[in-house]
Amino acid sequence: MADGLIEAQRAEKNLITEGKYVILKSGNNLRIVQVLKDRKIAFERLHFFLDDAIGCHYGTTFEVDRDKVRPCWDTESSQPIKCDGDSQKLSKEDIQSLKAQGLSGKDIVDQLVQNSETYKDRTEFSKAKYRKRKSKKYVQHIIRFTIHKPNTCLLAETYYSKMPQKICDLRPDALSQILTLANIRANSRVLVMEQCQGMIVGSILDRMGGYGSIVQAHNGDFPTRIAMDYYNFSSEFLSIVHGFPLIKLNTLTEKTAPDEEIKGKNEDREQPQDTRNTSRNTDPLSLSKAEQTCVVVQDKLARRERRLQEELTARNELLKGDMDALVIVCKFHPAPVLMALLPFLAPSRPFVVFCAYKEPLMDCYVNVRAKGGVVHAKLTETWLRYYQVLPSRTHPHVNMNTSGGYLLSGITV
């Protein structure tokens, strides 16, 4: 009986569910979207609904027809590249007429092939490329994409391909090295300082499986965790992440005043929290403008109270010391942060610092060697080359990134 329930829960996790975030993948194009009914999304220059995808398994390939999606099991590629079309007998008006008749994308491509004067003289590889070019030029209203469950690799690729500056130009292979060098595992106590939209914290939390503790040191009033939402973590997973502002590191020597201050603030907000819960039980349509404003204010106070409780828990974790790993990925010079957070590590524990440029890490290297207490300190550059692997067409990609950033790693003693 219990085994059947567990299997049912596992099967449900592999289904596309309303309200969850998913990743749409069409060739090298990736996009993160939230699955909601009656909500039109834009992808590959098309607008469509994902209602029909709800309940399907992750990894299913869909075809867009007008504004709806349907699962397709034909694996023939329709990935597009541009076309010159000099030897094509069909005119643009003829193509538009075929579209108006409701022909599928495959049928239109077949018509183009039949009316090509040079198709029969092409090699097999050239014929495949020809079909792809025609799919791009004339069949833009039919695309295929696969819906994937968000994971660290896909999220890192999505961010790096579209907005690398938001994750400090952190490439997916560099992220994998960070997780390995920091020895991230379940039941670890990890200290993190990152400015990657929560990408680093999310990847660490995903690898830890919800077991252990994560202290996220941050600058500003509260940490940024946008990327963490895309993992669809449960509340049990998120409960082990605690934020602590860098500006308050010097208060860790004061063991009572901050605790009493936070407890006092929690007591002051206990009554507003009850009012908030009462207001939420009221129909929003029946609330007056003043009451709605009050609800918004109470929500803000509740969020602030949760942040204060997070800060208190993180402070207690830091006071215990003996953290198992330190990871730093920030946009400013990492040397002051590294020197301030290293004392919280237990002996024989790893630390990893990532930067897109080597000069800041060279300063960090000199500082840790001068201070002592660190062995096996090394500065490395990450390098990666993609290969196309196809029958008789395996070769490195023509274009590649010049650098994947630099890593400083070591072990405390």
Percentage of the chain beyond pLDDT 70 is 78
* Residue 332: per-residue pLDDT: 92
Whether the per-residue pLDDT at 402 is higher than 70: the answer is yes
* pLDDT tens, residue by residue, 366-397: 999 999 999 999 999 988 888 989 888 898 98
Decide if pLDDT at 270 tops 70.
no
Q: Exposure pattern of 101-134 as b/e (b: 16+ CB <10 Å)?
A: eebebeebbebbeeebeebeeeeeeeeeebbbbb
d(CA 190, CA 313) in angstroms, rounded, equals: 14
> Which CATH number is 14-75+144-148 given?
3.10.330.20
Please tell me the predicted confidence (pLDDT) of residue 386.
87
pTM assigned to the model: 0.77
Mean pLDDT of the chain: 83
pLDDT band at 276 (very low <50, low <70, confident <90, very high): very low
**Close Cβ partners of 128 (under 8 Å, ≥ 6 residues apart):** 77
Structural tokens at position 245: 């502002």
Token pair 């076309």 is found at 83
What tens digit of pLDDT does each residue of 182-213 get?
A: 999 999 999 999 999 999 999 999 999 999 99
Contacts of range 97-105, beta carbons closer than 8 Å, 24 or more positions apart: 99/141, 104/142, 105/78, 105/135, 105/139, 105/141, 105/142
Instruction: Report the candidate in 62, 22, 29 with the shortest Cα–Cα distance to residue 45.
Output: 29
| CATH architecture under which domain 152-254+291-412 falls | 3-Layer(aba) Sandwich (3.40)
pLDDT band at 356 (very low <50, low <70, confident <90, very high): very high
CA dihedral angle for residue 335, residue 340, residue 345, residue 350, rounded to 10 degrees: -10
Looking at residue 286, its amino acid is S
Q: Is the pLDDT of residue 257 over 70?
A: no
User: Given a cut of 70, is residue 111 above it in pLDDT?
Assistant: yes
Counting residues of the chain whose pLDDT is more than 90, the rounded percentage is 53
The bridge status of strand 350-355 relative to strand 325-329 is parallel
- Of residues 124 and 321, the one with the higher pLDDT is 321
pLDDT greater than 90 at residue 134? no
Q: Give me the residue spans of the domains in the chain.
A: 14-75+144-148, 92-139, 152-254+291-412
Confidence at residue 7, expressed as pLDDT on a 0 to 100 scale: 60
pLDDT, tens digit, 9 for 90 and up, residues 5-19 = 456 556 668 899 999
pLDDT of 278 reads 42
